[in-house]
Amino acid sequence: MSNITVLNNIDHGALKVDVNPASNPSLNVNRTQVYASEIADLQKEFPVLIYRDEATEALQLHAILGLEKDENLFLDDNGWTTRFVPSLLARGPFSIGYPKVSEEGGKPNPMICIDLDDARVNEASGEDIFLPMGGESGYLQYVKKALQTVETGAQYNQTLFALVTEMDLLEPVSVEIKLSNVEQVKLNNYYTINQQKLAALAPEQLARLNQYGMLGPLFLLMASMGNFQQLIALKNARNAMI
């Protein structure tokens, strides 16, 4: 069950969030949804691919974090080993909420909410949410940035998917990784961008991609494929410790 309420520094001034990976099983995932607006950071660390759901045909951007179920190779006992964390995982027990629309109408302002029943939320240990005098902690500012990415990311991704589908730029990726003589990993239903088709686009099509801010992310998406070598190295290193 959840107990989600609007965050404020009066009722929640003493709250902390335990960011230890051992306290957060939701981080133990081998992939997470990400957004085109964070690709510039994420492509430095993770392979980023486009996933197509077999049942709904819906597209999503995924950062690949591991090669087995419930495996995140970018975590150790001290937390994330990467410089950047996907926003959906960085936001912790926080979310964005909106008040009911008033009779006057108008778009309501978003509010930061916290799940008070989340096991990470406590008053004993972890990252402070607020400073002693009520100001925002550095951790809360970090969370706010992640929430902003999540809040705006869905529309940004839909624009990306619409353009690459319209221009027929998707290329199926059949990722088969051999870790040993017996262990192999397959990632199905994933796509990247066809480099030849992208290079062959008409000038007006390239201009349109650039107009919507999508040309750069497409190149970064392709470049992120090189991170599979790092993922394999991390997996082999972990297997050697077993």
Taking CB atoms within 8 Å and a gap of at least 24, the contacts of 170-176 are 170/50, 170/194, 171/197, 173/49, 173/225, 175/49, 175/228
pLDDT on residue 96:
93
Q: How many alpha carbons fall within 13 Å on the CB side of residue 217? A: 24
Three-state secondary-structure class, residue 45: coil
Average pLDDT over every residue of 64-78? 91
133/45: higher pLDDT:
45
Q: How many alpha carbons fall within 13 Å on the CB side of residue 23? A: 17
Average pLDDT over every residue of 111-123? 95
Give the confidence band of 110 by pLDDT, cuts at 50, 70, 90: confident
157/77: higher pLDDT:
157
pLDDT on residue 232:
87
pTM (two decimals): 0.90
Q: Where are the beta strands (DSSP E) in the chain?
A: 4-6, 16-17, 31-34, 48-52, 59-64, 75-76, 79-80, 94-97, 111-115, 121-122, 127-128, 170-178, 184-193
Q: Which of 1, 17, 39, 26 is nearest to 149 (CA)?
A: 39
pLDDT in tens, 120-156: 999 999 999 999 988 999 999 999 999 999 999 989 9
Three-state secondary-structure class, residue 41: helix
pLDDT of residue 224 exceeding 70, the answer is yes
pLDDT of residue 218 exceeding 80, the answer is yes
Q: How many alpha carbons fall within 13 Å on the CB side of residue 62? A: 21
Average pLDDT over every residue of 159-163? 97
Are residues 153 and 186 in contact, defined by beta-carbon separation less than 8 angstroms? no
The residues spanned by each domain of the chain are 4-232
Q: Which of 4, 7, 98, 80 is nearest to 41 (CA)?
A: 80
Average pLDDT over every residue of 36-65? 95
Query: In percent, how much of the chain has pLDDT > 90?
Result: 74
Are residues 161 and 55 in contact, defined by beta-carbon separation less than 8 angstroms? no
Are residues 151 and 205 in contact, defined by beta-carbon separation less than 8 angstroms? no
Give the confidence band of 241 by pLDDT, cuts at 50, 70, 90: confident
The whole-angstrom separation of Cα 42 and Cα 193 is 17
pLDDT in tens, 89-109: 999 999 999 887 655 666 678
